[in-house]
A and B are shown apart, each in its own frame.
Chain A
Amino acid sequence: MKIPSSFNRSLWVFHLNTGSCNGCEIEIVATITPRYDPERFGIRLVGSPRHADVLLVTGPVTRKMAPRARRVYEQMADPKVVMCIGTCGQSGGVFFDSYNLEGPVDQVLPVDVYVPGCPPRPEAIIFGVVKALEKLERLEAQQ
């Protein structure tokens, strides 16, 4: 695989929980711990969406969290990429018929990368981030 030139700089990731079961959360945190260690490539979680290049969205987007998700997305600087982690963010998953959902993530935010799985393994999340890097590189070239 060709390493995208986006690796020239660090890729900062902001994680947003929109009503997930915590399964994806702990896998995301497991991803940044020493076993997988993506920080050697400069990939790290940051505390503010204003610093982030990538938005990781988990959960099926509950009614209360939908406006907050939009606000977090708007706070991020361009170019930005949204990754949807987990099956319930893509289709609703086991929560598909709930009365309290604003629909899957792509009904609320424009999603660029989907990582399926309930929850996806850390390897899958890292693979998704690499896909996001490629997309960011394309977006940067367009700008």
Chain B
Amino acid sequence: MSAEKTKKTIPYTVPIGPVHPALKEPVMFTFGMEGEIVKTVDFAPGQTHRGIEWMGMRRNPVQIVHMTDRVCGICGIVHSLSFARAVEQIVGIEVPERADYIRTILHELERIQSHLLWAGVAAHELGFDSLFYLAWRVREQSMDLIENLTGNRVNYGIIQIGGVRRDISSEQRSLIEKGLAYYQGLLDKMATLFLEDSTVRMRCRDHGFLSENDARILCAVGPTARASGLNMDVRQDYPYCAYGDLDVKAILPPAETGGPRGDVYDRIIVRLLEIGQSVEIIRQCLESLPPGEILWEPKMAKLLAACKKAEGEAIGRVEAPRGECMHYVRMAGKEAPESWKIKASSYSNLMSWIPMLQGEQLADIPIIVASIDPCLSCTDRVAVTRNGRSAILTKEDLTRLSREKTRRMMQ
């Protein structure tokens, strides 16, 4: 290509990843930059491929439930729940009502911890580290609750095919209520810190824009889609577990904050409001927690025998903190499922990075990438190649760029 022609194309490319220090999975980004502005975006996930589905097709459903916990450490319950729901439909298991309610409570506790985790990460990417520490400190409260209820802080291992493995005792009930009261008082404070802070507003308002139409075309799900104005939530549209009995409505950015615009700020609002919604759902569940069994069949051998006989296919859908999560299972009268396919929520959301990042500045990449709450965030080592010279930007450099921008805007 002639020198002149090269000039006309994008002047330089910025690869990011796949190794990065702070959080989550590796992913490889390639940005085509023109000055500070992102022109083209490409990404290559796949660094953490472990062949989980392949392994699952060699194990029995009870073993798989424990492996689904480890599909993702943040949404442990989501994967095990949707896998269990798929198998339950095939085998024809009716889950006891009490188990359904306990599943819902844990599902919502997980949403609280996941959204707080995200709020912390987002604050960190903006250079607002005190808020990051605050979010993670209050998150520990929900981690304590989860640990108390399931025995584990992460990878809970509480879901079993046909129910849950642990009951909620009356002492634990009062603990949950105490935890909910803690969050109730805290939510207003968090909302003030995030939404009324001029720094957060400046950095997030009208950045990382995803239009309603783009969200629909790219099949965005969860808070990413809701922030763009799509009224969708599996808990509302296809209720499962106890959600049919509860009052769950998809949360859209309210009109008083400027309505659904589809920017990073809207995604923050949706997630913060959803923490409040989760608190409310858990409270409703506790009020109407029915008595009874927690397992369809406590004897493992009988459960496995029933699974082994089953034939058919089913889809388990749940609303993960990041959006809809889907497990497709086909059983053909064998111990192991004949086919198993996972569609995690981040998978649907990844493509929305492309319209979000185009036209934004290099310093905005961290917060926009984080704004869909990917199960992979990646801002580690960046090599900038310009006119044949190469310079390495670390994640710290990127964070520094992001912070300097905040400072510039404050002046």
Contacts and interface: CB of A to CB of B under 8 A. Distances in A.
A62 B73 contact: no
29 contacts: A14-B21, A16-B19, A17-B19, A17-B20, A17-B24, A19-B50, A20-B25, A20-B73, A21-B70, A21-B155, A22-B72, A23-B70, A23-B73, A23-B74, A25-B24, A26-B117, A30-B139, A33-B133, A35-B137, A62-B47, A64-B46, A68-B18, A93-B70, A95-B51, A97-B58, A98-B50, A98-B51, A100-B50, A101-B50
A82 B380 CA distance: 20
A94 B143 contact: no
Given A22-B73, A47-B380, A47-B396, A27 B50 contact: no
A47 B140 contact: no
B381 interface: yes
Interface in B352-411: 375, 380-381, 394-396, 399
Interface of A: 14-17, 19-27, 29-30, 33-35, 45-48, 59-60, 62, 64-65, 68, 72, 88, 93-95, 97-101, 118-119, 121
Given A21-B71, A48-B381, A119-B155, 20 more contacts: A19-B26, A19-B47, A22-B25, A22-B74, A25-B23, A26-B23, A30-B139, A30-B140, A33-B137, A35-B140, A47-B395, A48-B394, A60-B50, A62-B48, A62-B50, A95-B51, A95-B55, A98-B51, A99-B54, A101-B50
Contact of A46 (B21, B24, B133): B21
Contacts of B341: none
In the A-B complex, the 9 residue pairs with the closest CB atoms: A23-B73, A22-B73, A33-B136, A47-B396, A19-B48, A47-B395, A23-B154, A98-B51, A21-B73
B153 interface: yes
B49 interface: yes
Contacts of A65: 18, 26, 47-48
Max chain B Cβ within 10 angstroms of own Cβ: one of A35, A46, A59:
A35
Contacts of A119: 73, 153-155
Contacts of B23: 25-26, 29
A60 B66 CA distance: 17
A118 B364 CA distance: 34
Given A48-B396, A72-B19, A98-B55, A23 B50 contact: no
